[in-house]
Amino acid sequence: MKTKLLIVTLILLSSFIRGQEVIMLTKSEVVSKVKENSNTLKISQQDVLAAKGDFQQTNAVFLPNITASHTGFSTTNPLMAFGSKLNQEILTQNDFNPSLLNNPTKTQNFATKLEIQQPLINLDGFYKRKAAKSKMNAVSLKTERIQDYLLFEVEKSYMQLQLAYTAVEVLEKALEAANANKKIADNNFKQGLLQRTDVLNVEVRVTEVKNQLQTAKSNVQNASNYISFLMNDENYVVYKPTESLTVLSFKVGKKIISENRPDIKAMQLASNGYEALNKADKMAFLPRLNAFGSYEIYDSKVFQGNANGYLIGAQISWDLFQGSKRFGKAQKSKAEFEKSKLAYTQYVSKSNLELNKVKRQLLDAKNRLNLTVLSVQQSKESLRIRKNRFREGLEKTSDLLMAETQFAQKQLEHFQTIFEHNFTQIYLEFITKE
C-alpha cells in the first residue's frame, strides 16, 4: 500500500513539474539580467551614491556659506529703539532728549541681511575631505567586487543547473534499465527461474531510482529558483541550460593575489581614510582662519530699504583646551588606523592562504576526474557482463542490482567531479582577478 501511494505521489509531482513552463536559458542571458536587475548590485550602487554625498559635503572646506534673512520687530526697549533708528539713519536732534532716550515710543525695525562666511585655513577639514574621498573610492571598488561576485555566482548556479539536468538524464536511463530488468525478473519468476524475493528486490530498486529521480528534478527546480533570485525574477519558472555540463579548461599559469583586486584595494583605501582622519584629529589642535562679511538693509516698513551698511572681517580662532576631548579622539583615530593596517595585512594573508588551498583543490579535482572516467568505464563493462548473464539466468539478482546501482553512482560521481573541477577553476579566476 505504501509503495502504491509513493508511486502515485511521484506521478503527481512529475506531472506538476512537466506542467510548469520550461524556458531555455543561456549563461549570457543570466549575466545580462543580473547586471540589470540584481537588487544586491542596486543596493551597492546606492552605497556609492551615499559615499559621494558625504564627499560633496566636504566642499564646505573651500566654498562659502551664504545665508539671507529678513527680520522684523517692534520695541520700546531704549537700547533697541535707539539702535534701530540709528541703523535706519533717521536719528534727529530730538532723539537725544534724555526723556525720549529713557522712555522711547514704539519703534519698528525691519532688516534684510545677506551673510557670507568663507573658510580660509581649515587644516583638519582638508584631511577630513581626503578621508571622505578615500571612502568614496573604496565603496566604488567594493561595488565592483560585488559585481564580480555576482558573476561568479552566475557561473556557479548555471553549472548547478547543468549538473541537476545531467543527474536527471542519468537517473532516467537508470530507471529505464531498472524497469527492463523488472520485466526480465517477472518473466523468469513465471518460468520458475527466480524466487519471489528476487522480484521484490528488483521492485525495490525501481522505487529507489524513482526516488532519486524525483530528488534530481527537485534540484532542477531549486537551481532554477536560485537563478531567478539572482536575476530578481519573481516568476520562478523552470529553466533549462542551452549547454550541457562539460569539462572546462583554463590557463591557470602562475596565479597570484594581486593588490589591485578591487576588494583588497578598497581595504587599502579604507586604511588611507583612517590615516587621514587621524591627521585631521591632530590638526584640530591648530588655529582656524575664516573670513566673514554681511550686507544689511534697514527700514521701518516691511520689505523696504532706505538705509544700508556692510561688514567685512576675518577671524582666527584657536580652541586651546576642550577637557582632553581632542586628545581622546586623536588616540581613538590612531588606534582605528593601526587596526585597519593589521586588518589589511591579515586579509591579504588569508587570501593567499585561500589561493594555495584552491590550487591544491584543483589538482585533486583533476586527479579525481581521471579516476572517475575509469570508474565509469569499468562499472559500465561490469554491468554489461552481469546483465547478459542475468538474461541467461546465470547471474544472481542481487549482483545485477549492485552492478546497476554502482554504474549509476559512478556516473553521478563523474559529473559531480566535473562540476567541482569547473567550479574550482572559476573560483581560482575569481580570487586572482585584478
Task: Report d(CA 53, CA 76) in Å as an integer.
Answer: 48
135 and 248 both lie in a single domain: yes
Amino acid 11: pLDDT:
52
Question: Residue 192 corresponds to which amino acid?
Answer: G
Number of folded domains that form the chain: 2
Amino acid 199: pLDDT:
77
Q: Is residue 49 part of a domain?
A: no
Report whether 96 contacts 285 (CB < 8 A): no
81 and 136 both lie in a single domain: no
270 and 313 both lie in a single domain: no
Question: Residue 160 corresponds to which amino acid?
Answer: Q
233 and 366 both lie in a single domain: yes
CB neighbour list of residue 129: distance below 8 Å, 6 or more residues apart: 55, 58, 61
Which CATH number goes with the domain that contains 298?
2.20.200
Q: First vs last Cα of the chain: how many Å apart?
A: 61
Task: Report d(CA 253, CA 363) in Å as an integer.
Answer: 13
Task: Report d(CA 311, CA 303) in Å as an integer.
Answer: 21
**6-15, 168-177, 252-261, 322-331 — which is least confidently predicted?**
6-15
User: Model-level pTM?
Assistant: 0.82
Residue 294: phi and psi, rounded to 5, are: -150, 150
252 and 401 both lie in a single domain: yes
State the average pLDDT over residues 393-420: 84
Amino acid 93: pLDDT:
86
CB neighbour list of residue 21: distance below 8 Å, 6 or more residues apart: 237, 238
State the average pLDDT over residues 75-104: 87
Residue 289: phi and psi, rounded to 5, are: -120, 125
Q: Is residue 59 part of a domain?
A: no
Which CATH number goes with the domain that contains 138?
1.20.1600.10
**33-37, 234-238, 348-352, 414-418 — which is least confidently predicted?**
234-238
298 and 330 both lie in a single domain: no
397 and 296 both lie in a single domain: no
Report whether 116 contacts 314 (CB < 8 A): no
Amino acid 252: pLDDT:
66
Residues in the chain: 434
Q: What is the pLDDT of residues 273-314, one digit of tens each?
A: 999 999 998 888 889 999 999 999 988 888 777 888 899 999
252 and 103 both lie in a single domain: no
Q: What is the pLDDT of residues 332-385, one digit of tens each?
A: 999 999 999 999 999 999 999 999 999 999 999 999 999 999 998 998 888 888
Report whether 262 contacts 270 (CB < 8 A): no
Task: Report d(CA 178, CA 396) in Å as an integer.
Answer: 15
Compute the mean pLDDT over every residue in the chain, rounded to the nearest whole number: 87
Is the model's pLDDT at 171 over the cut of 60? yes
Residues spanned by the domain of 295: 64-121+289-318
305 and 395 both lie in a single domain: no
Amino acid 154: pLDDT:
95
